[in-house]
């Protein structure tokens, strides 16, 4: 009898311990924020790797653009789905969603502006943020000196300003469109993907070098439901210059840029 009781107690202990270790799946996002994603306008897109991707896939410029646009939107949704409630206009095939995208695009203007500093992705980055800020300040000072006509450290410098730390900013020619869509869809925050860029880092002395890279940069802006700018900047990484596999670009390089973007969202808005 005592043996039976011991066996039953051991069985119960193992059962409840196993249940306590099971993964807990949420049936709702962690935060109640409702965020609307506005994909980049197909006209605000630049990819100088199109020719080598097209040669490998047999696709044309528009087909490659649509694939990258769709995949970036899909992966952005996956990255956000556990954190907030998403309004995804691109994957919504209704006439109203198509109209909302059209209305948003038609009410936008674009201008280059200094990028706001993105939040660090982890604690290690936070610990070095002061030093990083110092280096960034020094870099901006040098760029300012180089953009001033005259002679700097014995070299003739041009008047052309660099766009290295600028992003494609959006402004509203008709702010009422944003407010109307926000009211109708119950949106708290709008995440605009402003521009998608893949540009080669060209150096005539490194032609054919396998270490050449392209700069992959996605410009974005976040606005609240009243049209106030919350954050504007870009996510950026480098991809191999001769990479012609579009799926590898998506799987290996999209996540890093997306992480840089979503770390600036205040989910407890």
Q: Residue 30 phi/psi, 5° resolution?
A: -65, -35
Inform me whether the pLDDT recorded for 1 exceeds 60.
Answer: no
Residue 130 and residue 261 share a domain = no
Residue 104 and residue 209 share a domain = yes
- Is 155 domain-assigned? yes
Inform me whether the pLDDT recorded for 214 exceeds 90.
Answer: yes
Q: What is the pLDDT of residues 83-129, one digit of tens each?
A: 999 999 999 999 999 999 999 999 999 999 999 999 987 644 444 44
Residue 261 and residue 160 share a domain = no
Q: Which of 51, 79, 71, 40 is nearest to 195 (CA)?
A: 40
- Is 128 domain-assigned? yes
- Quote the pLDDT of residue 155: 39
- Is 5 domain-assigned? no
CATH code at 206?
Answer: 3.40.50
Inform me whether the pLDDT recorded for 169 exceeds 80.
Answer: yes
Residue 193 and residue 128 share a domain = no
Residue 197 and residue 157 share a domain = no
- Quote the pLDDT of residue 41: 95
Residue 210 and residue 102 share a domain = yes
Buried b (16+ CB within 10 A) or exposed e, 149-170: eeeeeeeeeeeeeeeeebbbbb
Q: What is the pTM of this model?
A: 0.75
Residue 256 and residue 181 share a domain = yes
Residue 99 and residue 199 share a domain = yes
Calculate mean pLDDT across residues 3-19: 48
Residue 178 and residue 237 share a domain = yes
Q: Which domain holds residue 158?
A: 116-164
At which of 164, 197, 230 does a domain end?
Answer: 164
- Is 7 domain-assigned? no
Calculate mean pLDDT across residues 67-90: 96
Count of domains observed in the chain:
2
The CA–CA distances, whole Å, from 18 to 13, 23, 200, 210 equal 9, 10, 53, 51
Q: How confident is the model at residue 14 (pLDDT cuts 50, 70, 90)?
A: very low
Report the range of poorest mean pLDDT among 7-16, 37-46, 59-68, 212-221.
7-16
- Is 154 domain-assigned? yes
Residue 76 and residue 48 share a domain = yes
Residue 147 and residue 33 share a domain = no
Residue 67 and residue 36 share a domain = yes
């Amino acid at each position: 009898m005592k043996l039976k009781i011991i066996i039953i107690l051991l069985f119960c202990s193992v059962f409840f311990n196993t249940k306590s270790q099971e993964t807990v799946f949420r049936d709702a996002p962690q935060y109640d924020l409702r965020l609307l994603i506005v994909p980049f306008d197909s006209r605000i897109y630049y990819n100088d790797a199109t020719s080598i991707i097209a040669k490998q896939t047999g696709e044309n410029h528009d087909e490659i653009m649509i694939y990258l646009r769709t995949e970036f939107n899909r992966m952005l949704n996956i990255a956000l789905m556990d954190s907030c409630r998403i309004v995804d206009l691109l994957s919504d095939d209704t006439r109203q969603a198509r109209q909302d995208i059209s209305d948003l695009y038609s009410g936008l203007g674009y201008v280059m502006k200094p990028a706001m500093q993105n939040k660090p992705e982890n604690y290690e980055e936070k610990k070095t943020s002061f030093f990083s800020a110092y280096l960034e300040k020094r870099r901006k000072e040098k760029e300012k000196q180089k953009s001033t006509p005259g002679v700097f450290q014995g070299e003739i410098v041009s008047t052309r300003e660099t766009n290295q730390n600028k992003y494609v900013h959006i402004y509203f020619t008709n702010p009422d469109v944003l407010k109307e869509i926000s009211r109708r869809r119950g949106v708290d925050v709008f995440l605009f993907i402003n521009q998608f860029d893949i540009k080669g880092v060209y150096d005539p002395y490194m032609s054919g070098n396998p270490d050449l890279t392209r700069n992959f940069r996605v410009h974005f802006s976040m606005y609240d439901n009243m049209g106030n700018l919350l954050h504007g900047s870009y996510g950026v990484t480098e991809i191999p210059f001769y990479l012609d596999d579009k799926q590898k670009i998506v799987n290996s390089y999209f996540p890093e840029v997306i992480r840089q973007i979503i770390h600036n969202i205040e989910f407890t808005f």
